[in-house]
Chains A and B, each alone.
Chain A
């Protein structure tokens, strides 16, 4: 089955530790995205990547880092610099034609990160 996988589903970390969230897709999509969801708020864009070895900051990139070494993978690292890391993190992907058009986005099941 084609789709997006995120692991783990639940993640617990102590304050001050970096943590990496996994996102893998087998849809052959060029573009991948990371969003953060907090209770009572809409999803907010953290980082996105339109092609391998290239990525851009979204609206709330501070305290996060990403890499895009393979088309299928877009891991997100939550660093100790992120002041409020506890949240639900969602990864998404979409086809990308290179013309700037936005195509349908598909989402993974999410990772719930709790930092204490």
Chain B
């Protein structure tokens, strides 16, 4: 069964810093991996989707990489802003039967 670990569990940094969120998963037989953002009390917003054949995907200040063979993905956030404060969730997808989620990284960007 797929298990997903996200490190760190929480992170607080001053505005403007570049930061890296880490995700590891135990089963490398995945089709893709999604990164989501969740604001308190809200649903999930999809940030990036990396297909298993891709090494990385970029959207604005966000860059996600995927090393399928080692079971790792990282989300890089450049020039962080207070509006980036949220919980970030990693979810590898093994098929049409749903995603497996980590517990997330709770990020606070200090103004």
Contacts and interface: CB of A to CB of B under 8 A. Distances in A.
B66 to A, nearest CB: 14
A106 B31 CA distance: 17
Q: Interface on chain B toward A: helix, strand, loop, or mixed SS?
A: loop
A58 to B, nearest CB: 6
B98 interface: yes
Nearest to B44: A107
Contact of A105 (B30, B95, B99, B102): B99
B104 A42 contact: yes
A100 B95 contact: yes
B60 interface: no
Query: Looking at B30, B45, B98, which has the most chain A CB atoms within 10 Å of its CB?
Result: B98
A44 B1 CA distance: 13
B49 A104 contact: yes
A91 to B, nearest CB: 9
Contacts of B91: 43, 105
Given A40-B103, A112-B41, A105 B46 contact: yes
Contacts of A66: none
Interface string B89-100: 101011111111
B96 A31 contact: yes
A41 to B, nearest CB: 6
B73 to A, nearest CB: 15
Contacts of B96: 31, 48, 50, 94, 96, 100-102
Given A92-B44, A109-B42, A110-B41, 19 more contacts: A6-B43, A31-B96, A35-B101, A43-B91, A43-B101, A44-B101, A45-B97, A50-B96, A58-B98, A90-B43, A101-B31, A102-B32, A102-B93, A102-B95, A104-B32, A105-B91, A106-B46, A109-B43, A110-B43
Contacts of B89: 42-43
A56 interface: yes
A110 B106 CA distance: 19
